[in-house]
Amino acid sequence: MNLLSFLLPVLGYLSGSLPFSIWVTRYAKNVDVREAGSGHATTTNTIRQAGFGWGALVLILDIAKGFLPTYLAMRVGRQDLLPYIVPLTAAGAVIGHCWTLFAQFRGGMGLATFGGALLAVDGFAFVIGLGLLLVLTLLIRHSARASVFTGIFIAPWFWLWNLRGVEFWIALACGLIIAFRFLMDWNRKYRELWLDREQKT
């Protein structure tokens, strides 16, 4: 493995570590997004504390920090190493988002960054993966549990759709990270399905 190929997953982690939701809410409202709601640095928590406009900005930025390093790995990595380097780079970005180097390793949940990595490789894979998440969320009516199951089943789901290239390995690597990350919210109670808010007791 050459030096550039080694550095691409590191770049993915550093890109994923950029805590946009923390920075945006601090700029917009002078608060730490992790101190309320789910306690995570996510788009939904940004919406809750700073509004939909700022939340939309965070969503775009979180997608971009998965898209850009994965796209770069696809373009500049050694061709014989792409099946390894691209998934490792995507996984690095998701890990960085969840356990950010720049915010005491307390980040988000990784879904948007995972989606960005898929978009960099195959737009159809992104749509199929998003569809699986939405269907499971509607059926289970618990977004954390739906995300765990999405992480577990997305790679086999891609295989059934004949998506068996680099996107499959991204789904396998990132899906397992997502499943592990969302286990921490397995028992959370929800009042609103889409905005991930806790029930009042």
pLDDT in tens, 6-57: 899 999 999 999 999 999 999 999 999 998 777 899 998 899 889 999 999 9
Position with higher pLDDT, 78 vs 146? 146
Total domain count, the chain: 1
For residue 9, is it within any domain? yes
pLDDT greater than 70 at residue 193: no
For residue 198, is it within any domain? no
For residue 194, is it within any domain? no
DSSP characters for 75-141? HHS-GGGHHHHHHHHHHHHHHHHHS-TTTTT----SHHHHHHHHHHH-HHHHHHHHHHHHHHHHHH-
Sequence-separated (6 or more) residues with CB below 8 Å from residue 126: 115, 118, 119
For residue 44, is it within any domain? yes
Q: Mean pLDDT, to the nearest integer, of 120-137? A: 96
| Whole-prediction pTM | 0.91
pLDDT greater than 60 at residue 191: no
For residue 197, is it within any domain? no
Range of the domain at 44: 3-185
Q: Give the per-residue pLDDT at 200.
A: 45
pLDDT tens digits along 76-107: 866 666 788 999 999 999 999 999 999 999 99
For residue 192, is it within any domain? no
Q: Give the per-residue pLDDT at 26.
A: 94
When the pLDDT of each residue in the chain is averaged and rounded to a whole number, the result is: 90
- Report the C-alpha gap between 52 and 194 in whole angstroms: 13
Using only C-alpha atoms, the chain has a radius of gyration, in whole angstroms, of: 16
For residue 140, is it within any domain? yes
For residue 85, is it within any domain? yes
Q: Give the per-residue pLDDT at 190.
A: 64
Closest residue by Cα to residue 137 from 195, 199, 194: 194
